Amino acid sequence: MVGLAAPASGPDPAGPPVPGSAGVEDPERYLRSLGFPGQFPFTRGIHPTQYRGRLWTMRQYSGFGTAEETNARFRSLLAHGQTGLSVAFDLPTQIGYDPDHPMAHGEVGRCGVSIATVADMETLFRGIPLDQATVSMTINATASILLGLTVVVAERHGIPRSKLGGTVQNDILKEYAARGTYIYPPEASLRLTVDVMEFATREMPLWNTISVSGYHMREAGATAAQEVAFTLADGLAYARAAQTRGMALDEFLPRLSFFFSSDRNFLEEIAKFRAARRLWASLTREVLGTRSPRSQQLRFHTQTAGSSLTAQQPELNVIRTTLEALAAVLGGTQSLHTNALDEALGLPTEPSARLALRTQQILAEESGVPSTIDPVAGSWAIEDLTDSIEEEARRYLEEIERRGGAIEAVAQGYYQQEIAREAYRTARAREMKQELVVGVNSHVETEEGFALFPSRGRRNKGTEILRVSPALEARAIRKVRAYRAHRDAVATREALEGLRHATEQGKNVMPHVIDALSARCTLGEIAQVWREVFGEHKPSRQF
């Protein structure tokens, strides 16, 4: 395939020459060969001045319980210096069920905030200026509904949709590959994804229409090269789907963003971000054919690795997260979430969430790292790792193309097989202590050893673990039923029928979603219309 072949000459097995060492007559010329920040292929960053011009956005991922509780956490984080909002939704919201649906039982508000109505969304953003604070929403199968809720709430407060800034994840392919919160068959889901891209590109110019996520594949066990390859392959699939819809490349690519993990291998993670940026620049030019620098730039959010957190000696998670956050900063991320030390035990408490935010602030304000543009440029180890990750990712991309592209590769179980194989290898390596995890299979504490959180079975005398009250679900059920009871039933029914008709006719669903939400339809009712039109996806067991 054109544009996916590895470079003709790979790196010297001994590594590239070090500037200033014997044999390098012109170190400055060697450094210039890496390119400059802000210039193609953007290995060294997409901005010429990097963080000297503007720091990364500190976007802590938060959401639990009710909209009231999450709003209080948002306001607390903003008061402590957070610069962007990132919303975590509970499982029923992610898979299209209202709190009173039998499938939602026991899950309401557990792993994120419960949102089913316009009233919930208004409460979630109460006191937060949506025309000033950018909002990122980790939502996929129901992305169109949550984006619609955001538009309705903003416009009720006099904020036009054209002034809203933020991101909706809207990446359904990785759900089939690694995460599992899909609802509809892949073809129908992709159609809804492109509907959001088309609508937001044309009516919400400040909104990032999709955040192509490698994070969840990395959490499931993918290697650094697999994360890069599978994520960029999905990006190509979305770009091609948008082109098929009739959208021009340079109309939507500048609003496309990515989402990566920052894991434990410090140098490899820095190199991974550089390789991803360089490879995406090449793919957009060689495969998609764009010549616009903005369309070639890979913009990405990073979250430190949740899978690296341990329940044993959880205070050590502060050190892990700090190293992972520093790798993301040295790799040139545009925004960052730092995990809280207690997330292997439960939802983060307010003190641990504040400490996670302070970690970023120390990197930004005390470390001195942001003062230098691309501090790692020219490092023998970094450049060699960057080349190696790019070459391995290209080999995966060739195989994905041979299989017919990302959609077919996911349908065939290729991503899943490769990720599962690596996850098994890692588990075996840890069992055999070939890979060490401090506190788990190395330097294990006894019962008498120091621990911020006592082990299971002992009374917790340290920091409390945040627990969601079972009473929350009952309150959420009462609220959604009261919401339905106080609405114009005829208007609601007509709005849902309008949505059904538009869906069946192949129209962009977003205007009809907004109409339905304005008529006080709930998230579950809208998702149910599509369940009836599209059916539900039943995964194959062949892999």
Q: Quick one: pLDDT at residue 230?
A: 98
E-strand ranges in 287-439 read 300-304, 335-337
Query: How far apart are the C-alpha atoms of 197 and 275, rounded to whole Å?
Result: 26
Which pLDDT tens digit goes with each residue over 243-298?
Answer: 999 999 999 999 999 999 999 999 999 999 999 999 999 999 999 999 999 999 99
The Cα 139–Cα 149 span in angstroms is 12
Q: Domain 51-431, CATH 3.50.50.60 — does that match?
A: no
pTM for this structure?
0.90
Checking if the pLDDT of 142 tops 70, the result is yes
Contact 464, 457 (CB under 8 A): no
pLDDT at 35: 85
Question: Is residue 461 scored above 90 in pLDDT?
Answer: no
Helix (H) or strand (E) holding 260: strand 256-262
Does the pLDDT at position 6 exceed 60? no
Residue 24, pLDDT score: 43
**What local confidence, expressed as pLDDT, does residue 434 receive?**
94
pLDDT band at 34 (very low <50, low <70, confident <90, very high): confident
At 481-503, the pLDDT tens digits run 999 999 999 999 999 999 999 99
DSSP 438: B
Q: In the predicted model, is pLDDT for residue 73 greater than 50?
A: yes
pLDDT tens-digit profile of 436-447?
Answer: 999 999 999 875
Given a cut of 50, whether residue 354 has pLDDT beyond it is yes
- Whole-number Cα distances in Å, 123 to 68, 110, 210: 6, 18, 25
Cβ–Cβ under 8 Å, residues 445 and 439:
yes
The pLDDT value recorded for residue 28 is 59
Cα–Cα distances in angstroms (integers) from residue 114 to residues 68, 89, 168, 528, in the given order:
10, 6, 17, 17
pLDDT at site 456 = 44
Average pLDDT (195-207) is: 95
| Domain spans of the chain, in order of start | 51-431, 489-534
Q: Taking 70 as the threshold, does the pLDDT of residue 375 lie above it?
A: yes
Q: Check pLDDT > 80 for residue 166.
A: yes
Q: What is the pLDDT of residue 207?
A: 93
Cα–Cα distance for residue pair 464/353, rounded to 1 Å: 13
Give Cα separations from 2 to 195, 287, 334 (angstroms): 29, 7, 30
Q: Is the pLDDT assigned to residue 241 strictly greater than 50?
A: yes
